[in-house]
Amino acid sequence: MIFNSIDFAVFLPVVFLCYWFVFNRSLLLQNLFVVAASYVFYGWWDWRFLILMTVTIVCSWASGVWIAHTRNRSDLDEKSIRRRARRITAANIVLNLLILGFFKYCNFFVQNFVEAFTLFGKELNVHTLKIILPVGISFYTFQALSYSIDVYREKIAPTRDIVSFFTFVSFFPQLVAGPIERATNLLPQFQVRRTFDYAQATDGMRQILWGLFKKTVVADNCAVAVNEIFEGYASYSSGTLLIGAVLFAFQIYGDFSGYSDIAIGSARLFGINLMRNFAFPYFSRDIAEFWRRWHISLTTWFRDYVYIPLGGSRVSKAKVIRNTFIIFLVSGLWHGANRTFIAWGAYHALLFMPLLLLGKNRKHTGAVVAENRLLPTLKECLSMLLTFLLVVIGWIIFRVENMHQAIDYISKICTLSFSDVFVATEGGNRRLLGLLVSTILILAEWFGRRQQYTLERIPVRNRVFRWMIYMIIAGMIVMLGGVSSPFIYFQF
């Protein structure tokens, strides 16, 4: 079930009404209902996916209970307790990563194994398996792992309430594509009674509306032109290829941040607060700032559970460089079993290096760009433009099927002439529409950049004018909504 479908348009209000008016008698009933609704939501694609998710949930919950039992044993000394807790945690991590690795990377490693022997003139007759990648497996696996690791680190107490734990991992708004929540933030919210908050619910509806705009109006319209250009890139001019790359940047942003907005907004309807996942990343002034604003839940996950355990930035410069490359390469591999994703991660690591070596990677950690001004300075404009162009090049690597296409695509863009850009816009209404709605998006987000999301606080006190804005956005969704396409991050 996808957010921009008729199925979900019926599912969400039915679940909302039952949650608050039928199953609100006790915390247990509410949580059981959320689990049931989440299983229906996830099983809508394929009921077999539910088996894997259940295994992940049960094993992660059981590991926490086992650790709690170990720590309560009076016959063990502190050293033995730590050792056993470490083994339990490691076993759960390995089990979950093996499941994730099998379904996501098995064929990738088999193919690379065969190709390695081919380089030495040895042909292997090995066939890949017909493995169906479960939707969102990377997201819920990482969420469950965060619980196991935090229990081991004693940042959160192990829970014996298996229902609330099932609710924490399977919560349907963010189950398939995040945000990747931490147990320290989300699990406690399912362990206390929730009461309906009208202001919170209306805020959630606003964020859902804006998320639908980004997905259906921006991402889906850009997708049509992007698919056409990338599939036939060899026959297009350099200007058209540049436009295709820029439109893909807005497609993936509108698609993924739109999903996050709908997820966060939907959760607020049920009295649950999810973490922010995007903070206007295309207004970043350098690559380091971009990664603090893009897919925040994943970036901070790798920071807390990979980068810092490796020593973070409190080690020698050589090890800091090593740690940085590791998290970017692992982040690339997390996105999928393709060399292009690894190359995309390596590309961003290389972009990050000058900032790291010059000590400027923490330069823009505070206020947003042009904090107290309507317009940015010339320096800020140039910094944002350069950062955006570097990100766009990375998105080309991310989007193509192999590195040969990436090199060829980028090489063709490098032959760009001034007239090519104007000729390229004559190729189809979809390109113009994609550029138009992307411009509307970026302008709206510029004026709302000081907020959690663009529509959080509309600077219009008159209720009639506010509702006019809502109706205009809803009208654009209906009138300009492109051909519905699957959310890009469902494949990860």
What residues are labeled active site? 335
Q: Which two tokens stand for residue 276?
A: 């922010």
User: Of the candidates 220, 212, 180, which has an alpha carbon nearest to the alpha carbon of residue 453?
Assistant: 212
CA–CA gap between residue 311 and residue 381 (Å, rounded): 35
CA–CA gap between residue 320 and residue 312 (Å, rounded): 6
User: Of the candidates 227, 208, 207, which has an alpha carbon nearest to the alpha carbon of residue 219?
Assistant: 227
CA–CA gap between residue 390 and residue 406 (Å, rounded): 14
Burial letters 154-186, b for 16+ CB under 10 A, else e: eebebbebebbbbbbbbbbbbbbbbbbbbbeeb
- How big is the chain by its Cα radius of gyration, in Å? 24
User: Of the candidates 27, 443, 463, 33, which has an alpha carbon nearest to the alpha carbon of residue 218?
Assistant: 443
Cis peptide before 179 (omega within 30 of 0): yes
Half-sphere exposure at residue 368, Cβ-oriented, CA atoms within 13 angstroms: 19
Tell me how many degrees the CA angle 346-349-351 measures, rounded to the nearest 5.
115
Q: Which two tokens stand for residue 66?
A: 């086992």
CA–CA gap between residue 491 and residue 27 (Å, rounded): 34
CA–CA gap between residue 281 and residue 398 (Å, rounded): 17
